[in-house]
Structure 1
Amino acid sequence: GWDYILADGASKRVYTSHGNQINIISTTGDSIGFVPTQGVHGIALVKALGKGYISAGRSNTIDIFDLKTFQVLAKIPVGQNPDAIFYDDFSKKIITCNGRSKDATVFDPFTEKVVATVPLNDKPETAVSDGKGKIFINGEGTSTVIVIDATTWKEITRYKIDGGESPSGLDIDRKTNRLFIGCGDTKTMVIMDASNGKTVGTAPIGGTDGVVFDPGLKMAYASNGEGTISAVREVSADKFEFVENITTEPSARTIGIDLVTHHLYLPAAKTEPNPAGGRPRQIPGSFHIIEVGK
């Protein structure tokens, strides 16, 4: 299995979740190494420290690893089933969205201490920062965006999502202060004004689990498990247009973006029907990364 993927254009590396490890590959496609963990969901980097951070869902920890040797340096207990993880450049903290305990852990990578636990009373999916002191978190159960103060670590407000349900993927255009919210159940991308929670646009997408925004191209992309990427252009702060569905592969439901090359990366695997029902079963040895670009 897999979840999030992180593309780092500066180092020409791609970090992808893959069961009980993260795989690290170069943008040329060569394998660089791997880091063992337990039920990885996401990866964050703090290059000033030369370290990476893994949300390990099965061990309920942030696993810290060295970016040069890929050795695991420490395991820090956080909430239950940490899922999404990211580094907030404003507060210089790492935040994990903990699905089972329905809270967010705030971790200081410079002191390696947990500094706050923020109760959310909802299953958090993805979090982003506006770079000015606010954190936005998708609340999947109630279809809301929870706004957190990145100084006090207190909840500021909640915005009910108008136009979509069960949000998962999330990204932000910091210049226009617009949130791009992927709502898989209703197959809609909702574009929200982050200052007041108002919906300023919607676009048709698929059964998405990931959303990224390219500030250079003014394009938002939603990765859909059916095997497409829905591309939505931000014409202005209040005008958005659906561009196209880019063909990928069924199962390619999460996405990472290289902001240097503007290429997209999606984990995928070949699958077959599961005799027990439910999700299709992965064919062993078929896990791979799809690269999309012009």
Structure 2
Amino acid sequence: MNTRFLTLCACAATLTSFVSSPAHAQKPFHITDRWVVGGEGGWDYLTADPASHRLYITHTNRVEVLDTTTGKSIGAVTGLTRTHGVVIMPDGKTGFVSDGGANQVVAFDTKTFAAITKIPAGTNPDGIAYEPTTNTIWAFNGRSKDATVIDVAQKKSIATIPLPGKPEFPQADGKGTVFVNIEDKNSIVRLDAKSMKATATWPLTGCDSPSGMAIDASGSRLFSVCDGNKMAVTDATTGKSLATPKIGADPDAAGYDPKSKLAFSSNGEGSLTIVDASKPGYPVLQTLTTEKGARTMSFDSGNGKVYLVTSKFAPADPANPKARPAPLSGTFTVLVVGR
């Protein structure tokens, strides 16, 4: 956090490219800090909660909770099996985590980090979102290819909605609509929260295996990150494709900053792509070198920072070179990106 902004020359020396524009005549993004969390195993999504200055990170069978002002651990939600996504309620008192290994969603107290209740879901709940107009949690089940809708007040499932394929990351627009990427069909499904029904399926032209998704709620745009080095930008009202800017390889998460109109893609190759969503054609503003494996991220709207996670890895297995290498114990780390 105490590192000064890098100059353009320093950025070039560290393999960070930056394209300036009048709309973003600011210094480039760079890694400002590294917080070593440690522990064992892999990870999935992370969620920044600006109101409480906390970062929630799903980490194998637990959720790590860090103070974003210091980078220090303030606790963990434990007793889980294989965690994927976290949602924190607007009042900040309760969180929900999808536990894919146990086919359930777990509600927890954000003060004590103790589990409040465990809610059965479909098979392997993964991405998760909060829909405020109906006060519901939406858990998207990768293996059973459906969505579990949970009433927050009752903390119980009230519906199961079938989907046309394997769902990945969802987003809610805050006005009664939920969107989710369908990974194996290269599409987006739009769902009505009140009727709890799918209302449209939109093909993602030029997008293969969409995973992470960000939303510009006020501008009605969706940003899906795809294999093949593409970000698919979609009109959230009509489903029309708006652009497919080039991003890094092996992405898994996306973010959007409504203040600066920037879209982010975290890429497992070891890069963060920053797209200028204020301009026609959606040009890439910057490609920041991060670290290999840093393929999930969360944007913090409170401080404008991006958080990514990765670790050191064991050598690849020559007998199975396509297998993801195992994370090395004690090396799990948060990368903090700012400018």
Q: Normalization by structure 2: what TM-score?
A: 0.84
8 Å contact from structure 2 (residues 255, 263) kept in 1:
yes
Separation of aligned partners in 1, 2:56 and 2:175: 27
What is the Cα deviation at residue 121 of structure 1?
2.6
Q: Tell me the equivalent position of 2:282.
A: 240
Question: Any idea what the Cα deviations from partners look like across 1:62-103, whole Å, max 9, x if unmatched?
Answer: 111111011111111011100011111232211111001000
Distance in 2 (alpha carbons) for counterparts of 1:90 and 1:188 = 32
Q: Which amino acid in 1 is paired with 2:43?
A: W
CA distance in 1, matches of 2:94, 2:181: 27
For the 8 Å contact 2:254–2:263, the answer to whether it is kept is: yes
Partner of 1:199: 241
Aligned: 1:280 with 2:325: yes
Aligned to 2:100: 57
User: Residue 283 of structure 2 aligns to a residue in which SS?
Assistant: strand
How big is the shift at 1:166? 0.7
- Does residue 186 (structure 1) correspond to residue 231 (structure 2)? The answer is no
Shift in Å at residue 133 of structure 1?
1.8
Greater radius of gyration (CA): 2
Aligned mates of 2:120, 2:195 — CA distance in 1: 21
1:4 is aligned, of 28, 45, 53, to: 45
> Which letter maps to 1:280?
P
Secondary structure at the aligned position of 1:6 is classed as strand
Cα offset, 1:239, TM superposition = 4.4
CA contact (8 A) 2:232 2:245 kept: yes
Which residue in 1 is equivalent to 2:26? Answer: none
Aligned partners of 1:163 and 1:199 also within 8 Å: no
Amino acid at match of 1:116: A
Q: How does 1:9-88 map to 2 (within 5 A)?
A: 9-27=50-68, 28-36=70-78, 37-48=80-91, 50-88=93-131
Measure how far apart 1:13 and its partner are.
Answer: 0.5
Unmatched tracts of structure 1, length 5 or more: none
2:252 alignment partner in structure 1: 209
Shift of 1:290: 0.7
Opposite residue 15 of structure 1, the aligned amino acid is: Y
Q: Report the alpha carbon displacement of residue 47 of structure 1 after superposing the two structures with TM.
A: 4.0
Q: How many residues are paired up?
A: 292
Superposed counterparts of 1:37-186, under 5 Å: 37-48=80-91, 50-183=93-226, 185-186=227-228
AA paired with 2:180?
A: I
Q: CA RMSD in A?
A: 1.2
Contact 2:141 2:167 in 1 (8 A): yes
- Whether the aligned pair in 1 keeps the contact of 2:131 and 2:176 (CA below 8 Å) is no
Deviation, structure 1 residue 123: 0.4
Aligned equivalents of 1:155 and 1:77: distance in 2?
22
CA distance in structure 1 between the partners assigned to 2:91 and 2:265 by the alignment: 30
Identify, as 1 or 2, the structure richer in strand: 1
Q: Retained in 2: the 8 A contact 1:229–1:246?
A: yes
| Per-residue deviation, 1:109 | 1.1
Moved over 6 A (4+): none
Please name the residue that 2:310 is paired with: 268
Q: What's the offset of the Cα at 1:164?
A: 1.1
Identity %, equivalent residues: 40
Aligned-residue offset at 1:235:
1.5
- Take 1:98 and 1:176, find their aligned partners in 2: how far apart are those partners? 28
Give secondary structure in 1 for the equivalent of 2:275: strand
Q: Is the 8 A contact 2:52 2:92 kept in 1?
A: no
